[in-house]
Amino acid sequence: MASFKDQVFLISGGARGLGEAQARQLVAAGAKVVIGDVLVDAGQQLAAELGAACVFQPLDVTEEAAWAEAVARAEALGPLNGLVNNAGVYTPMSMLDTDTAQFERHIRVNQLGTFLGMRAAVPAFERSGGGAIVNMSSTVALRSAPNSIAYTASKWAVRGMTKAAALELVDRHIRVNSVHPGPIDTDMLSVRSREDNLRRVQQVPMKRLGTKEEIARLVLFLLSEDSSYMTGSEVAMDGGAAL
Ligand SMILES: NC(=O)c1ccc[n+]([C@@H]2O[C@H](COP(=O)([O-])OP(=O)(O)OC[C@H]3O[C@@H](n4cnc5c(N)ncnc54)[C@H](O)[C@@H]3O)[C@@H](O)[C@H]2O)c1
């Protein structure tokens, strides 16, 4: 694994699930990590468990001012090296059942949250001489999935914004890539019925869910110098579902 010794990272939605696994692996590799989340208890508990290298910062990714505070908290630990726009929401719902509030909720958290995160972090990356951004999208942004029109819209936007930002930021030595997980075993899947999840697994060529540790290893690769010639890339990790 690449060394992240004394490097500083900010992970949105880092209190549980995929973000939690990223925080654990970064800290294990020597990094300092700020986890930002609306889940205060879970975030504080994780930070306490990971020790001095990890701090929790309350962060609602839809709030511009909260992003400024999160970036400042990260810079208090040292020059910022990376940002993971990992926070996300997903409520399965047919198009006809999706009302404006549900649609806007997905767009605000998944899409606007990612935009605000990138915009807040860029000045910090300029101060540190560059950096890496990983935006958490989904395989729904490579194809789609049933009952997910709002989620699909927001994750295609994340994929598109990643490419727009990568082009815009390349001369500032800031790389921006998107990750596209298939079904991964986290609390997010509990919004679907057990039957729906079993059906979903049968559609995966590997016939299993991915783990949060597998996705975290990919995120760390994209944050590290090992991926120094990658920007604007969309990387699927989905048990072969992209085949
Ligand atoms: N689990 C999967 O199968 C899967 C597949 C593809 C993509 N993803 C994406 O991976 C990311 C992480 O998902 P997960 O599976 O760990 O789900 P999760 O629900 O376990 O974690 C999501 C985290 O985001 C946080 N969050 C939600 N709204 C927020 C807000 N407004 N501000 C700050 N934090 C907020 C939650 O509190 C939670 O800690 C999401 O973007 C999700 O869309 C997950």
Among candidate residues 108, 101, 122, 120, the one with its CA nearest the CA of residue 157: 108
The model's pLDDT over 121-140, given as tens digits with 9 standing for 90+, comes to 999 999 999 999 999 999 99
Cβ neighbours for 121, distance < 8 A, ≥ 6 positions apart: 10, 71, 80, 83, 131, 133
Instruction: Please give the share of the chain, as a percent, with pLDDT higher than 90.
Output: 91
Enzyme catalytic residues: 151
The model's pLDDT over 1-27, given as tens digits with 9 standing for 90+, comes to 678 999 999 999 999 999 999 999 999
Return the pLDDT at 242.
Answer: 61
Substitution site in 112, 148, 186 for ligand 1 pocket (most atoms within 8 Å of beta carbon): 186
Nearest atom (ligand 1) to Cα of 181: 6
Q: Ligand 1, atom 43: nearest CA belongs to which residue?
A: 88
Residue 238 pLDDT more than 70?
yes
Nearest atom (ligand 1) to Cα of 62: 31
What would the two tokens of residue 195 be? Answer: 């039957």
Length of the chain: 243
Q: Is the CB of 86 under 6 A from ligand 1?
A: yes
Instruction: Please give the share of the chain, as a percent, with pLDDT higher than 70.
Output: 99
Higher-pLDDT residue of 129 and 146 is 129
Return the pLDDT at 196.
Answer: 86
Please report, for the chain, the start and end positions of each structural domain, with discontinuous segments joined by +: 8-237
Residues 172/123, Cβ–Cβ less than 8 Å:
no
* Superfamily holding 8-237: NAD(P)-binding Rossmann-like Domain (3.40.50.720)
Nearest atom (ligand 1) to Cα of 60: 32
Substitution site in 84, 188, 189 for ligand 1 pocket (most atoms within 8 Å of beta carbon): 188
Pairing of strands 234-237, 174-181: parallel
Return the pLDDT at 3.
Answer: 85
Q: Please give the Cα distance from 136 to 179 (Å, whole number).
A: 5
The model's pLDDT over 192-205, given as tens digits with 9 standing for 90+, comes to 888 888 888 999 99
Return the pLDDT at 193.
Answer: 87
Residue 243 pLDDT more than 70?
no
Q: Is the CB of 12 under 6 A from ligand 1?
A: yes
Cβ neighbours for 29, distance < 8 A, ≥ 6 positions apart: 1, 2, 3, 4, 5, 220
Is the torsion defined by CA of 42, 44, 47, 49 positive or negative?
negative
Q: Please give the Cα distance from 91 to 188 (Å, whole number).
A: 9
Q: Is the CB of 106 under 6 A from ligand 1?
A: no
Return the pLDDT at 117.
Answer: 99
Return the pLDDT at 44.
Answer: 98
Virtual torsion, Cα 191, 238, 33, 2, nearest 10 deg: 160
Residues 237/183, Cβ–Cβ less than 8 Å:
no
Residue 30 pLDDT more than 70?
yes
Q: Ligand 1, atom 42: nearest CA belongs to which residue?
A: 88
Instruction: Kindly state the average pLDDT of the residues 144-151.
Output: 92
pLDDT band (50, 70, 90) for residue 163: very high
pLDDT band (50, 70, 90) for residue 188: very high
Substitution site in 18, 46, 235 for ligand 1 pocket (most atoms within 8 Å of beta carbon): 18
The model's pLDDT over 78-92, given as tens digits with 9 standing for 90+, comes to 999 999 999 999 999
Q: Please give the Cα distance from 40 to 56 (Å, whole number).
A: 8
